[in-house]
């Protein structure tokens, strides 16, 4: 009986050793693989205090980056100015041009000839970051400005 207990103890120790070995080797890859750091959703950022212009936080602030959504914000700014002067209205109907429908990048897949209100395209541009909507809006505002300057 004592031999049997010793045998069971030895088997138990061997089994524990195997479990431990499996946890730290390729048999159990989750235990040996390094934990991958999560990828951050940005490549650069800057936080500036509005009144003083003091940089509060930032990373890669001097890195050259394409303007991306800054262009869309500028389009929105111009539209807001033109809304304030009455040059355009949110109810204006815009027809999507071939150029706007082929712009690429982030888009809502506008098709040539489709008609939308300025308000709908502004929402597409600001909420979905749609390049095609931004292009269509820019064409409309430019056409309004050209028409206004010629009159």
Structural domain boundaries of the chain? 2-32, 69-150
Catalytic-labelled residue, pool 69, 97, 106, 117: 69
Active site residue 111: no
Specify whether 149 is catalytic.
no
Distance CA 88, CA 96 (A): 17
Q: What is the pLDDT of residue 43?
A: 80
| Catalytic, out of 72, 82, 101, 138 | 72
Q: pLDDT tens, 12-33?
A: 566 555 555 555 555 445 555 5
Of 97, 106, 117, 129, the catalytic one is 129
Transcribe 45-95 into DSSP letters: EEEE-TTT--EEEEESTTS----THHHHHHHHHHHHHHHHHTSS-TT-EEE
What does pTM read for this prediction? 0.58
- Point out the residues of the chain with pLDDT beneath 50: 27-28
């Amino acid at each position: 009986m004592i031999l049997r207990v010793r045998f069971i103890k030895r088997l138990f120790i061997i089994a524990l050793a195997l479990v431990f070995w499996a946890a730290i080797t390729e048999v159990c890859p989750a235990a040996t693989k390094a934990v991958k750091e999560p990828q951050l959703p940005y490549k650069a950022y800057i936080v500036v205090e509005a009144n003083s212009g003091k940089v509060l936080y930032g990373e890669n602030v001097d890195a050259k980056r394409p303007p991306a959504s800054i262009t869309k914000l500028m389009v929105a700014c111009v539209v807001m100015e033109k809304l304030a002067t009455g040059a355009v209205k949110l109810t204006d109907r815009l027809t999507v041009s071939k150029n706007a429908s082929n712009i690429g990048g982030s888009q809502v897949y506008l098709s040539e000839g489709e008609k939308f209100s300025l308000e709908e395209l502004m929402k597409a541009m600001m909420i979905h970051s749609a390049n095609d909507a931004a292009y269509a809006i820019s064409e409309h505002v430019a056409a309004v400005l050209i028409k206004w300057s010629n009159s």
